Amino acid sequence: MCALSHYIERGSEGRVATTGVSLIREHAEGMKPPRSLFVPFPLGRPMGSPDQPDFQRDVLLSALQLLESATETALADYPHDAPTSGDDPWACAVALAPPEPANETEALRDQLVGEIRQLAPWHAESIKRRGRSTVGISGASLEQVEELATLLADFATGAEPSDGEIDWNHPMPVRLKFASDDLRAFYHEAATAQPGASYPTDADLNDWLFSRTLLGTVLRQIVGRMRESEDRRVAGLVIGMIPAGFAR
């Protein structure tokens, strides 16, 4: 991000000034982008919090104002924390009661599909409310989400992954990473569509997904197999599968 600021200004030959937000203050201190606003928000939320337009606009304006005030390299600090929905801990309202994962490929696939179907009504609510879904980076359409379970069950049980009907965006093993991301997005979108006083953070959602869903257990199994793989491309993808602290 910081490097891009320098390159954009250079490429524009002084016609485009850059400003922006920084989530890692140490990076902005080290790379010295021309103008930068450090914001003390979680990684992934550079504008603060979802559905907080006034706050987002203030963050944006604070960074833009550096364009008319800074006369030399400027690293400013945004003075406010991101809004939260209170101190009440979030809990997923749907108790999934995940079973012990089956050893057989077909049985594991059926278990995963069962869990997906439990969440499907809430995912439909998510689409109704937000008008969109972020699922689809693997190549699977929303109607093909259950097929993603087939790929995961194949890999988790050591079966040869079948191509199925999905027009995959990536070959194996990268396909596995984006199939996993799509299923996690489906679960997150369904979970955040449920009624509840507090909005979950990413940490809340990861805690839930990796301790209270079958998908979380299966993803850990998959990562275990990936670590043992002699294929360096597979082992190298582990870092892109499960957030730090949840792989165990």
Partner 1 sequence: MVRTSDMHPDMAKNLLSLPLPEIEPQPWIAPRPLAETKVAIVTTAGMHAHDDRPFNPGSVEYRLIPGDIDYADLRMSHLSVNFDRSGFQQDINTVFPLERLRELADQGVIAGVSRYHYSFMGAQPEPTRLEKTGEEIGRLLAEDGVTAAFLTPV
Site for partner 1 in 93-112 (CB under 8 A): none
Please tell me whether residue 231 binds partner 1 under the rule CB under 8 A: no
Q: How far is the CB of 104 from partner 1 (least distance, A)?
A: 28
Provide the minimum distance between the beta carbon of 164 and partner 1 in the complex, in angstroms, as a whole number: 18
Check binding of 56 to partner 1 (CB under 8 A). Answer: yes
**Distance from C-alpha of 179 to C-alpha of 170, rounded to nearest angstrom:** 10
The verdict on 212 binding partner 1 (CB under 8 A) reads: no
How many CA atoms are closer than 13 Å to the CA of 138, on its beta-carbon side?
31
Interface with partner 1: number of residues (CB under 8 A) = 91
Residue 194 interacting with partner 1 (CB under 8 A): no
Closest CA to 168 of 190, 148, 194: 148
> What are φ and ψ of residue 208, in 5° steps?
-65, -50
Q: Binding segment for partner 1 among 53-61, 101-109, 142-150, 210-218 (CB under 8 A)?
A: 53-61
240 lies in the binding site for partner 1 (CB under 8 A): yes
Q: For residue 45, state whether it binds partner 1 (rule: CB under 8 A).
A: yes
Binding string, 116-155, against partner 1, x = CB under 8 A? --------------xxx-x-xx------------------
- Per rule CB under 8 A, is residue 196 in the interface with partner 1? no
14 phi-psi bin (left φ>0, alpha ψ -120 to 50, beta other) = left
Tell me which stretch binds partner 1 (CB under 8 A): 57-65, 102-110, 115-123, 156-164: 57-65
Please tell me the distance from the alpha carbon of residue 105 to that of residue 120, in angstroms, as a whole number.
Answer: 22
| 225 interacts with partner 1 by CB under 8 A | no
Asked if residue 247 lies in contact with residue 217, where contact means CB atoms within 8 angstroms, the answer is no
* Residue labelled with tokens 């994962």: 101
Binding range to partner 1, per CB under 8 A, among 22-30, 92-100, 112-120, 149-157: 22-30
* Residue closer to partner 1 (CB basis): 54 or 160: 54
Q: 147-186 burial string, b = 16+ CB within 10 Å, else e?
A: bbbbbbbbbbbeeebeeeebebeeebbbbbbbbbbbbbbb
